[in-house]
Chains A and B, each alone.
Chain A
Amino acid sequence: MNPIPVESLHKTLSDQSLQTAIYDSTARLMLKRRNAVTPVPEFQELRSQANRIKQHAIENLDYYLEQLEQNVMRRGGKVVWARDAAEAVGFVRTLCKDKGVRRIVKSKSMTTEEIELNHELEKDRIDVVETDLGEYILQLANEKPYHIVAPALHKTRFDVADIFTKELGVEREEVIEKQTMIARRVLREKFLTAEMGITGANYLIADSGAVVLVENEGNARLSSSAPRIQIAVAGIEKVIPRAQDLVTFLKVLGRSATGQPLTVYTSFLSGPRRPGEIDGPEEFYLLLLDNGRTKVLADKNKRQSLYCIRCGACLNHCPVYRKIGGHNYPWVYSGPIGAILSPQFHGVTQNPWLPFASSLCGACGEVCPVKIEIPKILLELRSDITKAQSTAGGGGLERFAFRLFAFVMRRPGLYRFLTGLAPRMFPGKQGEWLRDVPSWMKWGPVTGWLSQRDLPPPPEQNFREMWRVRQRQSRPERQRQSSEVR
């Protein structure tokens, strides 16, 4: 059970240049989304449609996964089922050993981040290279992705200049286009010499056995066509029933993620190269990963968490993410979606603070292209957590406080008596907000509040006292008084 990472949060919140980088980058992405969504009058209907398709696919997941498997095999691909990260990684390591793979090019995949694939493969001295520019920068810097879609969101071009100079031994370059050319030069060589390409998958189409990849840089296309062996790693929730369903998702994904009507490349991988084809891999594997997903599936209220298409819009619009960034979240999935996925995958007692680190503003649910009710799930998780803590004998003080709260709030007489005491006990001048309080008042919530804000004093008369006085007066008298006050 991990407590709130107060120090790490403080470090992020007090780093002014990092704060600016996160806030400005997410503001740009918010604006881009808005500009891309506004001209599409049917956007809300598309969200509902996407939600319904996902709901249907998830409710019938067993059926569609089997259909997918058959169709992938029909096209000459192999389907591998992995129960957890160890099985998934084990398969890839064994395959590399059997096929003599020394170099792997990878395109961006959160699923492979989830199972820490690179780290495991490096143990076998395999050269694993991330080919998405953002991911490549982070691989050089030895960091985890900061954001689902924009992994290097927190890095400025000056940071990138530092990283390239240090890790690649090139001359310092601060112009973004030129930095891109440096990466491109290095990566082209890797693409041409890698024996294996590993990609993720945005969608798996059950009725045609195709893996769909959505990207902007063309590196996923190269990773999946240049090397001899290809593996697509995907969570089992990525399956959609029919090719025509894809239209709905492509319309919402690009707009929600980066504000693009459509991303630059949309690739359909359908098995290995067939006779007569000039490119494509000789061997094709689809690695389907559970790793906790079936556990989420079992909960009827929260299984909608599996609808996520990893667009990152909830991160960009989350005022908490925009303050604390990606690395304060305990898992590779950050932001609101990370806050609901992590507890469900790892158990609610693992990082019990996480679902509470939200003001429940609802901006995430408002922009989610598949309409996951993130705030509602956060609330359910909070309830699950307090229950789990109670069973484990923890969280006693807060539980006691809320029992007391409920006890008082159901007894108007007691409520009136206790709240009537407040103004008499409160220090300071009437009407003046407080910057500090006497030490007997300094406990949890008060200290928390005062650490950031001044505290309003209870007024001399609370509402019900004012009301009682007011009721005794005649209407004209009241009006005269109220205009005098103003």
Chain B
Amino acid sequence: MPRRVSLFVTCIGDQLFPHAGIAVAEVLEGLGYQVDFPEAQTCCGQPAFNSGFRDEARAVADHFLKVFEKADYIVVPSGSCGSMIGHHYAELFEDDPAKLKACHELEHRVWEFSKFLLEVAQVEDVGARFPHKVTYHDSCHALRELGVKSGPRRLLSQVRDLEFVEMDAAEECCGFGGTFSVKFAEISGGMAGAKIASLQKTGAEYVISIDSSCLMQLQGRILRLGMPMKTLHLAEVLASR
């Protein structure tokens, strides 16, 4: 069994939330994996795909395929990017049998971070300690396209001194949606507001997610509303000692 994983940190992780990526590496290394970061990586192409620019998305996807051609396991600290690669790449290469085959092979090698821990590394307890009250936001693509629901909660349940509280609207969208958040800013902000109202009722100090983009949306709105709550990527909780 290869003990080597390649990290796809995502463009948003690279540029805005590097600590989450570092935390992923720390957790994986703590479990004995050798973590490789292919330097030529950029973005998965989702922004173009979701905006209706498929040729452009295909070009970026093609680059991704090349960069990660040899990787056995590709770990992604995002459900949304993970789903783009694992599910939507195939739609982009429908008319290109060779690339399509490469996409289908890729589907089995791409792992959202929490899924990798539970299903490949097969651990629930990574030895973390995080003495805070937290709640968990189900990011949409992880939940509905990758079927990630209980996994992150199971991982959190093993964290020492952590108090978990469920929010009533855990499965409601945070309102990010990529370019939707700026094209339809007022709707997007309203959706974040509904989510935050539910967060607030829990009395949690931190809201945890496996997608930095949801957290950027929520944190930005929380700060705008002048609230004390903080957001944190699951990997950062699991890397805490």
Q: Enumerate chain B interface residues (CB-CB to A < 8 A).
A: 9, 11, 13-19, 21-22, 25-26, 29, 37, 39-43, 45, 47-57, 59-60, 62-63, 88, 91, 140-141, 144-145, 171-173, 175-192, 194, 216-217, 219-221, 223-224, 239-241
Q: State which of A19, A387, A399, A410 has its C-beta within 8 Å of the C-beta of B42.
A: A410
Complex A-B, nearest 9 residue pairs according to Cβ-Cβ distance, in ascending order? A359-B177, A452-B189, A453-B220, A448-B182, A382-B52, A361-B173, A463-B18, A386-B52, A406-B56
Q: Enumerate chain A interface residues (CB-CB to B < 8 A).
A: 4, 6, 9-10, 13, 19, 23, 319-320, 322-324, 353, 356-363, 365-366, 376, 379, 381-387, 398-399, 402-403, 405-406, 408-410, 412, 415, 419, 422, 433, 435, 444-446, 448-449, 451-456, 458-459, 461-467, 470, 475, 482-483, 486
A461 to B240 CA separation, bound complex (whole angstroms)? 21
Chain A nearest CB from B147 CB (Å) reads 11
Q: List 11 interface pairs A-B (beta carbons < 8 Å), by A numbering.
A: A13-B187, A319-B172, A360-B50, A402-B51, A412-B41, A453-B224, A461-B18, A462-B14, A463-B14, A464-B37, A466-B21
A4 to B15 CA separation, bound complex (whole angstroms)? 31
Give the residues in chain A near B14, CB-CB below 8 Å. 419, 462-464
Q: State which of A6, A410, A467 has its C-beta within 8 Å of the C-beta of B37.
A: A467
Q: State which of B42, B141, B216 has its C-beta within 8 Å of the C-beta of A362.
A: B141
Contact B18 A466, beta carbon cutoff 8 Å: yes
Contact A449 B182, beta carbon cutoff 8 Å: yes
Q: How many A-B residue pairs have CB under 8 A?
A: 211
A9 to B9 CA separation, bound complex (whole angstroms)? 36
Contact B187 A435, beta carbon cutoff 8 Å: no
Q: State which of A353, A365, A419, A456 has its C-beta within 8 Å of the C-beta of B220.
A: A456
Give the residues in chain A near B184, CB-CB below 8 Å. 4, 9, 320, 356-357
With A324-B187, A454-B223, A463-B13 given, can you name 9 additional A-B contacts, CB distance below 8 Å? A13-B190, A358-B177, A386-B52, A419-B14, A448-B182, A453-B220, A458-B16, A462-B14, A463-B18
Contact B53 A386, beta carbon cutoff 8 Å: yes
Contact A449 B179, beta carbon cutoff 8 Å: no
Contact B59 A410, beta carbon cutoff 8 Å: yes
Contact A448 B183, beta carbon cutoff 8 Å: yes
* Known A359-B140, A453-B217; contact A448-B185, beta-carbon cutoff 8 A: yes
Contact B16 A456, beta carbon cutoff 8 Å: yes
Give the residues in chain A near B15, CB-CB below 8 Å. 419, 422, 458, 462-463
Contact A452 B221, beta carbon cutoff 8 Å: yes
* Known A433-B223, A462-B14; contact A361-B177, beta-carbon cutoff 8 A: yes
Give the residues in chain A near B88, CB-CB below 8 Å. 379
Contact B9 A448, beta carbon cutoff 8 Å: no
Give the residues in chain B near A409, CB-CB below 8 Å. 11, 42-43, 45, 59-60, 63
Give the residues in chain B near A366, CB-CB below 8 Å. 144
Q: From B43, B144, B178, B187, name the one whose CB has the most chain A CB atoms within 10 angstroms.
A: B187
Contact B188 A359, beta carbon cutoff 8 Å: yes
Chain B nearest CB from A420 CB (Å) reads 10
Give the residues in chain A near B183, CB-CB below 8 Å. 4, 353, 356, 448
A367 to B193 CA separation, bound complex (whole angstroms)? 23
A464 to B182 CA separation, bound complex (whole angstroms)? 27
Chain A nearest CB from B74 CB (Å) reads 16
A385 to B54 CA separation, bound complex (whole angstroms)? 11
* Known A406-B60, A448-B185, A482-B239; contact A359-B175, beta-carbon cutoff 8 A: yes
* Known A412-B41, A461-B18, A462-B18; contact A357-B144, beta-carbon cutoff 8 A: no
A452 to B88 CA separation, bound complex (whole angstroms)? 30
Contact A412 B187, beta carbon cutoff 8 Å: no
* Known A13-B187, A412-B41, A454-B223; contact A386-B50, beta-carbon cutoff 8 A: no
Contact B144 A454, beta carbon cutoff 8 Å: no
* Known A433-B219, A466-B18; contact A383-B52, beta-carbon cutoff 8 A: yes
Which chain A residue lies CB-closest to B21?
A463
